[in-house]
């Protein structure tokens, strides 16, 4: 590779961003990067993570294809056409040698220009099954990485990448982690998170069951930006978003209620946590949750079953043996990242 400029393409949610942030130092050490361009979204939560001075942060309009009739799909067609044009100018200006992407729809208009600009493409497929954004560009990829084994011999299973913060958090004493977040009771810590953009359904569930939750748990609740609930209590701790402290938060937890974003599941597996999954309805998260169910790695509830979530949560925290078994199965079901294997495949495409 003559010119050492790389595009990292991910944004809109943190699940697609965190593994690329962790992958970047490995690639940078191998190549000695001169210039790193991050392609994200204008208002996405990734802007708070991609802050290092070595990044040049550029944006594209984010689009999505809804699996139901919506006028927004028509609007997004025009936004996507604009993204394709804007991607051309971004590529023309910076001339990357390599594009690394992780499943965000932002990658599609960038990678579609591959044959014009001649860059290499690495796709890190995070979910249990390839999403539409990956299927649209798989034929242009030089290397496709997966987190779990695939029947396709062209895809290379390297496991799930987690950031250094999670390695450090796993080594910390739980009492120190509790003190870090100002926890004041001796109750078990329940963390409720709807991902980087939050979950209205889980937020409503916390609000509706607030009194009973406070009787049993100390709670850290990640609501998502602009989705706060009007509740206060000495052992209720509400945050819109945690960036630098997310690893410590999850490491401190005794039980986590979460959506089924793949990266969050991978991080919880690495930390060997007992979790309850409420996947986002009518979304790829259902396939992720199904994979975890097949490996008996978590208690999985459909969003329509939220009425039973409180009972299930209390039952699980009281059954330490079951919780430990689920956590162990979760850890075994999501292999850790194999850096040597990645570098072997990476060197094949950049030589």
What pLDDT is recorded for position 297?
A: 98
Please give the Cα distance from 84 to 78 (Å, whole number). 10
Q: What is the CATH number of domain 164-333?
A: 3.40.50.2000
Q: What is the mean pLDDT of the chain?
A: 91
Helix axes 18-31, 339-350, angle to 10 degrees: 60
* Cα 147 from Cα 263, distance rounded (Å): 10
DSSP assignment string, 210-267: HHHHHHH-EEEEE--TT-------TTEEEES--STTHHHHHHH-SEEEE---HHHHHH
Flag the least confident range among 61-65, 278-282, 287-291, 343-347: 61-65
In contact, 37 and 56? CB cutoff 8 Å: yes
CA distance 132 to 130: 7
| pLDDT tens digits, one per residue of 91-121 | 999 999 999 999 888 999 999 999 999 999 9
- Name, in order, each residue with C-beta under 8 angstroms of 319's C-beta and a sequence gap of 6 or more: none
Do the first three CATH levels of 5-162+336-350 and 164-333 match, i.e. the same topology?
yes
pLDDT digit string, tens, across residues 235-267: 999 998 887 899 999 999 999 999 999 999 999
Asked which of 110-124, 147-161, 267-281 is least confident by mean pLDDT, the reply is 147-161
- The domain covering 5-162+336-350 belongs, at the CATH homologous superfamily level, to Glycogen Phosphorylase B; (3.40.50.2000)
Compute CA distances 92 → 87, 102, 129, 150, 194, whole Å: 8, 22, 32, 35, 38
Percent residues over pLDDT 90 in the chain: 72
Domain positions in the chain: 5-162+336-350, 164-333
Model's pTM, two decimal places?
0.90
pLDDT of 44: 80
- Which tokens sit at 234? 């000495």
What is the C-alpha separation between 198 and 13, in angstroms, rounded? 10
């Amino acid at each position: 590779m003559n010119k050492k400029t790389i595009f990292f393409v991910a944004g809109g949610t943190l699940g697609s961003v965190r593994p690329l942030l962790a992958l970047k130092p490995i690639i940078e050490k191998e190549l000695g990067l001169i210039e790193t361009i991050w392609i994200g979204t204008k208002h996405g939560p990734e802007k708070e993570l991609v802050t290092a001075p070595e990044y040049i942060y550029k944006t594209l309009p984010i689009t999505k294809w809804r699996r139901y009739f919506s006028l927004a799909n028509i609007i997004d067609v025009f936004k996507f056409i604009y993204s394709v044009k804007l991607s051309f100018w971004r590529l023309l200006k910076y001339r990357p040698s390599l594009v690394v992407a992780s499943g965000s729809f932002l990658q599609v208009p960038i990678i579609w220009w591959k044959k014009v600009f001649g860059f290499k493409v690495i796709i890190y497929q995070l979910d249990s099954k390839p999403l539409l954004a990956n299927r649209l560009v798989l034929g242009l990829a030089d290397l496709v990485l997966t987190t779990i084994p695939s029947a396709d011999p062209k895809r290379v299973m390297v496991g799930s990448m987690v950031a250094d913060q999670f390695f450090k958090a796993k080594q910390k004493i739980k009492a120190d982690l509790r003190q870090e977040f100002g926890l004041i009771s001796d109750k078990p810590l329940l963390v409720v998170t709807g991902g980087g953009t939050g979950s209205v359904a889980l937020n409503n569930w916390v609000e509706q069951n607030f009194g009973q939750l406070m009787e049993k748990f100390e709670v850290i609740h990640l609501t998502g930006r602009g989705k706060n609930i009007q509740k206060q209590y000495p052992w209720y701790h509400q945050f819109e978003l945690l960036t630098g402290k997310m690893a410590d938060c999850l490491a401190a937890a005794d039980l986590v209620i979460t959506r089924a974003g793949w990266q969050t599941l991978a991080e919880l597996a690495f930390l060997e946590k007992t979790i309850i999954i409420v996947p986002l309805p009518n979304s790829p998260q259902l396939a992720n949750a199904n994979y975890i169910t097949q490996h008996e790695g978590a208690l999985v509830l459909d969003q329509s079953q939220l009425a039973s979530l409180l009972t299930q949560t209390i039952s699980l925290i009281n059954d330490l043996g079951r919780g430990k078994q689920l956590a162990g199965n979760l850890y075994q079901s999501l292999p850790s990242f194999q850096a040597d294997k990645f570098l072997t495949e990476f060197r094949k495409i950049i030589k």
